[in-house]
Amino acid sequence: MIKRQAPPIQKIKVFPWRWLVACFSLLILGAGSWFYLQSQKNFPVDYWIWAGIRPEKGMENSVFYIYQGILRKNEERVSYERLGLFPHPTVHKIYIVYRISGGLPHPKDLMKLFERNAALWIHHNVKVVGLQLDFDSPTSKLLVYNDFLSQVKSLLKPEYQLSITGLGDWILFGQKESLRALAKNTDEIIFQLYQDRQHFSDIKKYIHKLARIDIPFKVGLLNHQTPNIYINQLQTSPYFKGVVLFVQKKNEEKL
C-alpha cells in the first residue's frame, strides 16, 4: 500500500500594517459617529421646511420653521405672495416664516398677516411657537432693522417668540452694539452659513468669529451637508444655542 504524503502546509503571509490600517479606519468612523450623536444630544437640531419637503426619520422631536410666503415692498406698496406649505395637522411645534424683500413692511400689517396664518395652523391643533423673519438687512443699517423689530416685538402676543435669520456679513462686520440690540429685541438669531445650495467656501472664518461672539445665537446649515467638526467647535461657546438645518429636495442636494 502506497502512503500518500499530505500536501505541505503553505504559510500564509500576514501583513500586520494592513490590519492596523483597517482597524484604525473603523475606529475613526466609529468615533466620528459617536461624536456626531453626542453633539446632537448637547443642542437642539431643528429644520426649515419649504414646500415639497416631507419630514425624514430623526426629525420627530424637532421644531419646524415653515415658510409661508414673501412680502415685497415696491416704493410705498407692500405685496404678499403666499408660498410654502398649506396649514395641516402635524405633531411638530412650528415657527411661521416670512421672507421680506425690498424693504420693511408696516409692523401692524405684518402682525395681522401672522395672526391670520397662525390661526389657520392652530385650527389644526398645531402649536405655533412664534414668528420668524428672513430679511437681508445691510450691516450698516442694523439699527434701523432693530427699530422695526422692536415694534414687531411689542405687538407680538406674549405666547409667541420672535426669531430672525442673520447674514454672514453681520458676523464679520456687525458692530457689537448693533448685534446686542438685535438680541435684546428678539428671542433668537440664526446665522445662515450658506449661499443658495452650498455652505460658504470659507466657513471656517465665520465659525471662528461666532465662537467669540457674546450674544445667544444658532447657526443655519444645509441638511446632509453639515460640517460636524465646526459644530463641535461652537459648543465651546456658552452662547451657542443650536442648529437649524435647511432641508432641500433630493435633486437639489450636493453631497
Strand pairing class (77-82; 64-74):
antiparallel
> Which class for 192: exposed (0-12), middle (13-18), buried (19 or more C-beta within 10 A)?
buried
What's the whole-number average pLDDT of the chain? 84
Please state which CATH class domain 44-249 belongs to.
Answer: alpha beta
Residue 202 has pLDDT above 60, yes or no: yes
Domain ranges of the chain: 44-249
Does the model's pTM come out above 0.85? no
Check if the beta carbon of residue 105 is closer than 8 Å to that of residue 71.
Answer: yes
Q: Which of 20-24, 69-73, 105-109, 242-246 has the lowest mean pLDDT?
A: 20-24
Number of C-beta neighbours around residue 60 at 10 A: 9
